[in-house]
Amino acid sequence: MTGQARIPIVAIVGRPNVGKSTLFNRYAGHRRALVANTPGLTRDRIVEALEIEGRRILLVDTAGLDPDAREGLPAAVQAQAESAVAEADAILFVVDGKAGLLPADEAIARTLRRTEKPLTLVVNKIDRPDLHSDRLLDFYGLGFERVSGVSAEHGAGAFDALEALVEALPPAAQADEEAGEGTRVALAGRPNVGKSSLLNRMLGEERVVVSDLPGTTRDAVDIAFEHEGQRLVLVDTAGLRRPGRRSGTGERVGALMAVRALERAEVALLVIDADEGLTDQDAHVARMSRDMGCASLILANKWDLVPRERRSQVLEQIEHGLRFMSDAPILPVSAKTGKAVAKLVPAVIEVARVAGHRVATAELNRWLADVVARHDPGMAQRGPRRRRQKLLYATQIGVHPPSFAIFCTDADGVQPAYRRFLENRLRESFGFAGTPIRLHMRNRRESDPQPS
């Protein structure tokens, strides 16, 4: 992934109940979505990779960013807007056309007007064309150049608004040359789980400041180091702010920053507070790492605080809550005592190696023939007709994550359960533990020549 153009992030921002998630789902469910609709990952997904007008983007639904309720809803919404201004490449600002312009919309608009990044004001719930002009009139006063009336529920105008925003993005720029830097490793997790403490323990020195205040850090910190000839770059997604600038709404980890860090990383260290146990927000971060294609290690930090009689229960809870990525190793660690921290770098190197492994085409096709012989893919339904599904051959088309194209007689007819079966057999046969696997089913006629 090094040396490639970075994928722009488009953030959907707005107050609650304006239809942000409905709009996100409208985009994510469209045929232009490139990320597979993987069972077990669709609930509460907040990131989706799309191709719009020939350009890949990462769409982020800020409605799923789990704001801190203790700070109050207005502060949380404002923090999302600030995070979008800081971290996104373009912004979809969603308002409710039925409710009209509200003070909360104006407050968010004041924050968003400070950015020079492309922005489209999306007036949602414009379901009747005859009301289009009247409903938009009040919102033009917010001072944004691009204003679009849409219906997220019915789809009217939705893709026109997104396409116009993507067109306004600057030309794709190549990423900074990172090929010689080594494996990029993102430390990700919710606030105050000990990411910065673990980073310092891994490095053996206080390279980043640690605070007991949740979410006091925001800027990503890249630190390169070498371990037994292996070069790595650690990205602390909970970077630092100067103490004098710490205040209320800004003191949270920016989820958009986590998306950016994971998009650049090859390996994610998912840090969980073992003493508190797995939370919904931990699962959010884990899903993001899978969606970004990162190989992953799950770190149960603060293990020293977990009583011995609870330890097996804690591990079972983590395994159950993250069962959609059951292949990822779980490592109990303690940044405070140093327990098992020495195992982290070798474990990172191993999962990075696995994620970069290539299977020879001949070996892969011997595997495919054996799998199909053991478990037939069954019949494919095409309209009123049913025909025997045949998997013809396979080839690996990428790494980080390992990606495979399987050519068959009816790609749309391959059932989700059989896709999961193929993925599980790939993991077992070739040792793809800790990394997502991308399967691309493609149509091929039986008479077409197959690769040697």
**Within a 10 A sphere around the Cβ of 384, how many other Cβ atoms?**
5
pLDDT at 413: 84
**CA-CA distance, 48 to 25, in Å (whole number)?**
9
**Within a 10 A sphere around the Cβ of 374, how many other Cβ atoms?**
8
Domains of the chain: residue spans and CATH = 9-167 (3.40.50.300), 183-355 (3.40.50.300), 361-443 (3.30.300.20)
**CA-CA distance, 28 to 32, in Å (whole number)?**
8
Q: Transcribe 282-346 into DSSP letters.
A: HHHHHHHHHHTT-EEEEEEE-GGGS-HHHHHHHHHHHHHHTGGGTTS-EEE--TTT-TTGGGHHH
pLDDT at 150: 93
Cβ-proximal residues to 302 (8 Å cutoff; 6+ apart), any chain? 193, 194, 273, 274, 275, 334, 335, 336
Contact of 192 with 273, CB cutoff 8 Å: yes
Contact of 450 with 392, CB cutoff 8 Å: yes
pLDDT at 235: 77
Query: Is the C-alpha dihedral spanning 396, 398, 399, 403 positive or negative?
Result: negative
**CA-CA distance, 337 to 450, in Å (whole number)?**
56
**CA-CA distance, 169 to 90, in Å (whole number)?**
7
φ/ψ of 275, rounded to 5, equals -70, -35
3-state SS class at 389: coil
C-alpha distances in Å from residue 23, one per residue of 29, 61, 153: 10, 9, 7
Using CB atoms within 10 A of its CB, is residue 205 exposed (0-12), middle (13-18) or buried (19+)?
exposed
**CA-CA distance, 79 to 248, in Å (whole number)?**
9
The one-letter amino acid at 80:
Q
C-alpha distances in Å from residue 1, one per residue of 107, 250, 345, 403: 38, 31, 20, 13
Which residue(s) pair with 92 in the sheet? 12, 120
**CA-CA distance, 53 to 155, in Å (whole number)?**
17
**CA-CA distance, 58 to 187, in Å (whole number)?**
20
Contact of 265 with 291, CB cutoff 8 Å: no
Cβ-proximal residues to 409 (8 Å cutoff; 6+ apart), any chain? 380, 387, 388, 389, 390, 392, 443, 444, 445, 446
**CA-CA distance, 118 to 165, in Å (whole number)?**
7
Q: In tens digits, what is the pLDDT along the chain, a chain of 452 residues?
A: 444 567 899 999 988 889 898 899 899 875 333 333 333 333 345 778 888 888 889 898 876 554 443 455 666 666 767 777 778 899 999 999 988 999 989 988 998 998 999 999 999 998 776 556 677 888 998 999 999 999 998 889 999 999 999 999 988 755 444 445 788 999 988 878 888 888 888 887 654 444 343 443 434 457 887 877 888 888 766 533 333 333 333 333 356 777 878 888 999 999 999 999 999 888 888 988 998 899 999 999 999 999 999 999 999 999 999 999 999 999 999 999 999 999 999 999 999 999 999 999 999 999 999 999 999 887 765 655 667 788 999 999 999 999 999 999 888 888 889 999 999 999 999 999 999 999 999 998 655 556 65
Q: What is the CA radius of gyration of the chain?
A: 23
